[in-house]
Amino acid sequence: MNIRRLLGLDTRADRYAYAVDSAAGYTSARRIPDRWVATTCGYCSVGCGMFIGVKDGRAVGVRGNPDHPVNAGVLCPKGLSEHETIQAGTRSTRPLFRRSRAAAFARISWADATRTMAEKFRDVQRRHGPDSVGVVSTGQLVTEEFYTLGKLAQLGIGTRNYDGNTTLCMSTAVSGYKRSFGSDGPPGAYEDLERADVILLIGANIADNHPILWQRLDANPSKTLIVVDPRVTKTAMLADVHLPVKPRSDLALVNGIIHILIDSDLIDHAYIDEHTDGFDTLYESVREYTPDRVADITGLPVELIYRTASLYGNAKAAFIGWTMGVNHSSKGTETVNAINNLALITGNIGRCGAAPFSITGQCNAMGTREAGFTSSLPGYRKFEEPADREALATIWGVAVERVPTSRGLAYPDIIEAALEKKIRALWIIATNPVVSFPNYGVLKQALETLEFLVVQDGFETPTAAMAHLVLPAAIWGEKEGTYTNSERRVSKVNKAVEPPGEARADFQIFLDLAGALGCRDELFPGWTSPADAFEEWKRVSAGRLCDYSAMTYDEIEANGGMQWGGARLYTDGQFQTENGKARLLPTKWEPFPEPPNAQFPFVLNTGRTVEHWHTRTKTGTVPILERLSPRPWLEMNPRDGRALGLKPTERVDVISRRGVIRNLDLRLTETVGSGQVFVPFHWAEANANQATQSIVDPISREPNYKQSAVRVERSR
């Protein structure tokens, strides 16, 4: 009996992955490479090691690196076809400029492009102040580029308003770690998935979104897998226990588990006494989360809540993983703190198999977090700490007054500031907010309000179509540097082929703009390659939690990546707080902000699918992925479909108070509960963010992408 097929897991994508998995590699057009270049996958944060096959200067194939510690040669469908993105017909290949949005784009030289950009930025700053220029970057660059860009934005351009699209996915995990442990940094390692005896996944469909991690988890023969998710995802189908919670009730569930564990004395008193502060306050705060109340909030039977608490509390090594189900919430940071509380009071941290662990999204979201300049100064230094600012000023050879004393606006606040004309010029790098940012109508209005919009990207995107200046960038496979994956493993990224047309590496574009601004010699003296940035970054990170000082490119390559902080953080129970103790923090469940009503009776959930990535700028150009998943869809419970008189083959629209997602293929399926619907967020032509809200987590500033109230109608 094929269990996977029975569960509906034997999808076309799975078959494709397994088929090519066993082959030597995936090559296109029967072209056999004449050399293979070792690198790291440029899609997700799992950080799989791979080789790019090159023939006649073109990338013609990809195969997994069998010696890489992350993936041992296995790749998912996206990784296996990644070389196809390099040859995409939608690549941005030459700088383009227009004076106004009413005008057509015209070609411009690189020298004129960077000179124009420098002049426009300086003009706007003269008229409206230094912070009237905003910079929004991404988790797609190499760490050397983030470090360079941060220096350029804050010391060269001189704006504090620099942030990245990582605020749309991981800032909640960052905030939660900082509040609980005194610093960012996922404490665990992928090996923990293979060694834990209980694994609790909350809002994390890793079978679709981090497939190689799923394979590592699946290889653990003695695990009990508990999945908390309102949807019956692929991951939930394979769980030992699935908790189909009501949307956004996870925080109440975790507090309820803590309540039961304290009452049952299934907690680690020695660990709490030696390594944490705040137990009494936590104890008081969870008193109200009685099993009956939690059952009411979550919709789960009381027995299931007790069983989950018992499984977790009696585990020798318990692992908690989470992704966007937790982070995409206005209560996300508190939920992360509740997860950390649960791990801390049971001593499930800093040991093999035991960790609270955020599974990151983009290939180098971690690199942005380390290299800083957004929510921290580089090397997890604090803006408000004078000694941290002094240390950086000394390394950089600049007056300490030039180092910012507080963070600038976060990404959603930059967009809000653009709408209010506080930000007048914006530089967007390797991200596509027209599809990825919540509440499309507001975003569009904000971008249209700008005096000057620069979009730097490897692809022609809907966001670039709104720009005044378009800068064509090299992408994965065309440049060098390092990525850090979710387990803090720094891996090498290598150049296999030249970028198309006049496209340049982001690193080169940053140096060129620094030259046009007149700050290149001061900030980047003698720099010509990412290796120069890496050497300075090693000095900046020395002695910090994310210490790169002992790493070299050669050693990183030889080891299949190197984890900063060792395999696990906090093995000695010492945290990055003033007294070395972790903080147990009270958290409070609240209903989500936009409850359904008679006019908008469904709760909209958004998410990903295994074949596609973000806004499909890359995967939408790969024929095999497009064939596997060509159309956007809506998942609806059959009972709701019957009540609305809808049939499975129909096209439907999703309407919220803010906009309409049009022409979705209707899928009637029991994987979503009655009263809920699900839409993947990848498609520009059926933009899920037409319907989502502008509400953000007050601590992390991460948007509440989920739980929008909507109605569903047959498309006209």
**Binding footprint of ligand SF4 on the chain (CB under 6 A):** 41, 43-44, 46-48, 71, 75-76, 78-79, 210-212
| Smallest distance from ligand SF4 to CB 556, Å | 17
Angle of CA points 414, 418, 424, to nearest 5°: 110
The runs of H, that is alpha helices, within 607-685 are 623-628, 638-644
- 386 neighbors 379 (Cβ within 8 angstroms): no
Residues 59, 486: Cα–Cα separation, whole Å: 27
| Smallest distance from ligand SF4 to CB 361, Å | 10
Outline where DSSP puts E strands in 378-445.
425-429
Bridge partner residues of 36 (DSSP): 53
Of 44 and 603, the one with the shorter C-beta distance to ligand SF4 is 44
What residues contact residue 2 under an 8 Å CB cut-off, 6+ apart? 10
| Smallest distance from ligand SF4 to CB 232, Å | 22
Residues 451, 445: Cα–Cα separation, whole Å: 12
Of 79 and 291, the one with the shorter C-beta distance to ligand SF4 is 79
The runs of H, that is alpha helices, within 58-202 are 77-80, 83-86, 110-128, 143-151, 171-181, 191-195
Of 48 and 584, the one with the shorter C-beta distance to ligand SF4 is 48
**Shortest-Cβ-distance residue relative to ligand SF4:** 79
How many C-beta neighbours within 10 Å does residue 292 have?
11
| Smallest distance from ligand SF4 to CB 38, Å | 14
Residues 621, 123: Cα–Cα separation, whole Å: 38
Of 210 and 231, the one with the shorter C-beta distance to ligand SF4 is 210
| Smallest distance from ligand SF4 to CB 50, Å | 7
> Strand, helix or coil at 714?
strand
Bridge partner residues of 668 (DSSP): 636
| Smallest distance from ligand SF4 to CB 623, Å | 17
What residues contact residue 123 under an 8 Å CB cut-off, 6+ apart? none
Of 468 and 614, the one with the shorter C-beta distance to ligand SF4 is 614
**Which residue, among 21, 322, 287, 337, has the nearest Cα to 177 in the 3D structure?**
337
**Which residue, among 206, 201, 228, 197, has the nearest Cα to 294 in the 3D structure?**
228
Residue 242 phi, psi (nearest 5): -110, 130
| Smallest distance from ligand SF4 to CB 37, Å | 16
Outline where DSSP puts E strands in 373-460.
425-429, 452-457
**Residue count (the chain):** 716
| Smallest distance from ligand SF4 to CB 432, Å | 18
Of 43 and 51, the one with the shorter C-beta distance to ligand SF4 is 43
DSSP letters for 49-81: EEEEEEETTEEEEEEE-TT-TTTTT---HHHHT
Pairing of strands 96-97, 469-472: antiparallel
Residues 632, 687: Cα–Cα separation, whole Å: 9
| Smallest distance from ligand SF4 to CB 79, Å | 2
Of 64 and 596, the one with the shorter C-beta distance to ligand SF4 is 64
Of 39 and 508, the one with the shorter C-beta distance to ligand SF4 is 39
| Smallest distance from ligand SF4 to CB 213, Å | 7
Bridge partner residues of 666 (DSSP): 634
Pairing of strands 452-457, 49-55: unpaired
Q: Which two tokens stand for residue 664?
A: 């979705």
| Smallest distance from ligand SF4 to CB 22, Å | 16
| Smallest distance from ligand SF4 to CB 212, Å | 4
| Smallest distance from ligand SF4 to CB 474, Å | 19
Q: Which two tokens stand for residue 190?
A: 């992928």
Of 47 and 433, the one with the shorter C-beta distance to ligand SF4 is 47
CA–CA distance from 14 to each of 5, 17, 689 (Å)?
10, 5, 28
Of 40 and 439, the one with the shorter C-beta distance to ligand SF4 is 40
Of 213 and 305, the one with the shorter C-beta distance to ligand SF4 is 213
Of 78 and 83, the one with the shorter C-beta distance to ligand SF4 is 78
Residues 604, 675: Cα–Cα separation, whole Å: 9
Residues 634, 660: Cα–Cα separation, whole Å: 13
Of 206 and 646, the one with the shorter C-beta distance to ligand SF4 is 206
